[in-house]
Chains A and B, each alone.
Chain A
Amino acid sequence: MPGPDAVRAFILEIGLGALLLLVFVATLGIRGAERRVIGWIATWGVLVLAFTSFLVRPAPPALGGMFVQDGLAIFAKRLFLAATFIGLLASLGNAQPAFVRRAGEYHLLILSSLLGMFVLASARDLILLFVAFELMSIPLYVLSGFLKRQEEAVEAALKFFLVGSVSSAVLVYGLSFVYGAARSTDLATVARVSPATEPLLALGLLAAFAGFGFKIAAFPFHMWVPDTYEAASTPFVAWLSVAPKAAGFVALFRVYLEGVGDRAAAWIPLAAGLATLTIVAGNLMALPQQNTKRLLAYSGIAHIGYMLVGFAAASASGVAMVLFYLVTYVFGNMGAFLVVEAVARSEGSEATTAFRGLAQRSPLLALAMLIFLLSLGGIPFVAGFWAKLYVFWAAASVGLYWLVLVGAVLTVVALFYYLVVAKRMYIEAPERPGRVHLSATLALAVLICVGGVVVLCHQDGGEREQRQSRAVDARGDSRSGEPSDPRPRLQPHVARRRAPRERRRQGQLLLPLQEQGRARLRDPRSDHRVLPR
């Protein structure tokens, strides 16, 4: 049975499991409109977990190496918790009957999906990864059709489900090849696959990429996104647009950077190409949108493209940059969706025209929206700028200048539609007077997002990097006397745990991740071949 060490590794999952049980019990015990309480329970629970997550420290791998609680995992879990907290908080004020009466189901589904994400972030075994992936996905299908009386909602659920199932099939088909090529489901072993079987591995990883592409909504696997976002309830969409994507990215990092060892560089052209396609398609398709949620959906696709730029850097710093991007994206995108929710509640419309004259009606809400839009647009002084900057930086560090240029130029296209919303708010005259009313919890959620977007730019430009660079210096490999190392002194979260033994030459970038893998190979606990041959 798992020892105390393993419990330490599972602490967040155990806490979440307990919360699930609590909510389940509450669902059974509470009836009717009182079920509102369930939402509070879940929200508070997630908040507690979120605080707990900051106490959690990396732990040695558990389950024979299947489950790791490293920096990446902990970071991702904090992110999921933050997003979930905001999402739950925002939906507390949701007075729609379905949400009040079915609060138990709603929160159970969200929390179990969250558990799936947790495990996904920690999974280093293909089987666990797949199960976690499904555990994350299946509740989402239900949640997107949660308003099951609405034609659009069930339609969206079906589309989401169909595309999702096919993608799952493709994913697991790919994973089967990965397993076949590696003769193991352990990602560390995958990293050592002999070249003889490599075509199968390549096939497997490609197919699996499609599956992950669906989850992160990269072009052309994104097509479920706009429909689902438009139809589902907005607070849920706000959450849907960030948390599962973050989980998808974490899984991508696990599989494609940790799991392929030295061949990570091979992914650069592919990821760069996909990033380009996604950025272009997302931004272009967002241009003609009249529905704000749809617009944000497409813009979200474009953002995935930008994150893929960081991914394409296939470097440790790239990973760190994408993670930072995800953080800013959580706050910026959720915030934008929540403002849409507020306005849509008040105006009964999700169209961009509902924002007309918002600056004169509710200046603060308009300002919040403007901040979110600017952050999404990558304008300086808000978090989104730093995020874009960092992913571009990572890409530039590996010489992908063209990709940076494409990305930066398409930022301009993106700004077009963000500015259209800004125009509605600030330039056009209001259609009717009066403030836009929003519930206290929703306002709080928006406020948190504003705080995130504003604070992140101040902190993360500096403090985080500072800390990391100190870590670099402390290791004594700042190579004094050789000032011409052009790489930004940025270390990824994933690498913070274990100091690399050697600095790599330029061009080989995945050192920290590989070091981790190798270290695990030397770790006797990592061998989980308990099965007979």
Chain B
Amino acid sequence: MSLTAYLTLAALVFAIGLFGVLTRRNAIGILLGIELMLNAVNINLVAFARFHGDLLGLVFTLFTIAITVAEVALGLAIVIVIFRVRRTVEADRLDLLRG
């Protein structure tokens, strides 16, 4: 398969992830969307690395994965603390600050 195919696949996943982020109400659901977006990045990077015969992409991917994990962990912690304070994890209900 060509590089473009992989890139297109990644773009689709990216868009789907974005869609999830935009439409999910549950904060955890939103996080899942973000995961998908980052996943698309990894596909991109690996595909480029393979097609360029280059290793940097793979290195990049490793870092991305690690950072993603960190972000998810932190995000979930925030969700939990939100839940503790506000008794909800619905992002739309969190609108004390506005305007």
User: Residues of A at under 8 Å CB distance from B?
Assistant: 126-127, 130-131, 134, 138, 141-142, 145, 148-152, 154-159, 161-162, 165-166, 168-170, 172-173, 175-177, 179-180, 183-185, 226-227, 230-231, 288-289, 294, 531-533
- Indicate if the CB atoms of B75 and A161 lie closer than 8 Å: yes
Residues of B within 8 A of A162 (CB): 21, 27, 30, 34, 75, 91
**C-alpha gap A176/B10 in the complex (Å):** 11
User: Residues of B at under 8 Å CB distance from A?
Assistant: 7, 14, 17-18, 21, 27, 30-31, 34, 37-38, 40-41, 44-45, 47-48, 52-57, 59-60, 63-64, 67, 70-71, 74-75, 78-79, 81-82, 85-86, 91, 94-99
- Give the most central of B37, B44, B56, B95: most A CB within 10 Å: B56
**C-alpha gap A373/B5 in the complex (Å):** 54
**C-alpha gap A161/B94 in the complex (Å):** 13
- Indicate if the CB atoms of B56 and A231 lie closer than 8 Å: no
| Interface of A, helix, strand, loop or mixed by DSSP | helix
Closest CB in chain B relative to A222 CB, distance in Å: 14
- Give the most central of B40, B48, B75: most A CB within 10 Å: B48
The 6 A-B residue pairs whose C-beta atoms are closest, nearest first, are A180-B48, A227-B97, A169-B37, A176-B44, A531-B55, A155-B94
- Indicate if the CB atoms of A149 and B85 lie closer than 8 Å: yes
| Interface of B, helix, strand, loop or mixed by DSSP | helix
- Indicate if the CB atoms of B45 and A176 lie closer than 8 Å: yes
How many A-B residue pairs have C-beta atoms within 8 angstroms? Tell me: 130
A-B contact pairs, 17 of them (CB 8 A): A126-B60, A127-B59, A130-B64, A130-B67, A131-B67, A156-B97, A161-B74, A161-B78, A162-B21, A165-B71, A168-B71, A169-B37, A179-B45, A180-B48, A183-B54, A184-B54, A226-B99
- Indicate if the CB atoms of A183 and B52 lie closer than 8 Å: yes
Closest CB in chain A relative to B90 CB, distance in Å: 11
User: Which single residue of chain A is at the shortest CB-CB distance from B94?
Assistant: A155
Residues of A within 8 A of B63 (CB): 127, 130-131
**C-alpha gap A179/B86 in the complex (Å):** 42
Residues of A within 8 A of B31 (CB): 165
Closest CB in chain B relative to A79 CB, distance in Å: 26
Residues of B within 8 A of A184 (CB): 54, 56
**C-alpha gap A463/B60 in the complex (Å):** 44
Closest CB in chain B relative to A296 CB, distance in Å: 15
Closest CB in chain B relative to A272 CB, distance in Å: 27
